[in-house]
């Protein structure tokens, strides 16, 4: 790619010294395979210097069937998971207290995470997250 059409400022921020900077963050494993783990602009940097990729935590949280949508972000040097639950699933499985159920899941998940990655607060949403035209959640944090 040479440039963004009629977007010279975006081109200047993205193409530096002939290299296209995607904004992705990841790592190479021992065998040379590339793993993309998230976006630099979404990275949570705690006061202790630890970096957290929210997408990795979101993927773990999404494994729980009661979670329809989730965003993880940092607030006041703590990790917050904002969750929109799958209401239909809760009804089908007669889950009476969605908040309690989700908090129990997060407590179990936290036991498997390093201390600095543990989710300290869970916010239950009553509405879906705002999305772009590609149906991706618009991050506002």
Q: What's the pLDDT tens digit per position in 40-82?
A: 999 999 999 999 999 999 999 999 999 999 999 999 999 999 9
CA dihedral 126, 116, 78, 38 (to 10 degrees): -60
Q: In the prediction, which pLDDT does 45 show?
A: 94
- What is the band of 97 on the pLDDT scale with cuts at 50, 70, 90? very high
Q: In the prediction, which pLDDT does 35 show?
A: 92
CATH code for the domain defined by 43-141? 3.30.300.30
Q: In the prediction, which pLDDT does 6 show?
A: 83
Q: Is the backbone of residue 84 left (phi > 0), alpha (psi -120 to 50) or beta?
A: beta
Does residue 133 carry a pLDDT above 90? yes
Across the chain, mean pLDDT equals 93
Q: Which residues pair with 14 in a beta bridge?
A: none
- Number of Cβ within 10 Å of residue 133's Cβ equals 5
Q: What's the pLDDT tens digit per position in 2-11?
A: 778 888 888 8
Closest CA to 62 of 130, 140, 129: 129
Average pLDDT over residues 13-35: 90
Its CATH class, for the domain covering 1-41, is mainly beta
Extents of the domains making up the chain: 1-41, 43-141
- What is the band of 15 on the pLDDT scale with cuts at 50, 70, 90? confident
């Amino acid at each position: 790619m040479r440039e963004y059409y009629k977007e010279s400022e975006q081109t200047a921020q993205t193409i530096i010294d002939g290299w296209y900077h995607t904004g992705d963050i990841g790592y190479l494993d021992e065998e040379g395979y590339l793993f993309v783990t998230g976006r630099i602009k979404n990275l949570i940097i705690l006061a202790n210097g630890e970096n957290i990729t929210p997408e990795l935590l979101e993927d773990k949280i999404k494994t729980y069937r009661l979670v329809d949508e989730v965003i993880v972000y940092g607030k006041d040097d703590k990790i917050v998971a904002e969750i929109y639950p799958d209401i239909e699933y809760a009804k089908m499985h007669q889950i009476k207290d969605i908040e309690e159920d989700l908090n129990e899941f997060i407590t179990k998940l936290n036991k498997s995470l390093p201390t600095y990655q543990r989710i300290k607060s869970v916010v239950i949403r009553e509405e879906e997250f705002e999305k772009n035209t590609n149906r991706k959640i618009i991050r506002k944090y």
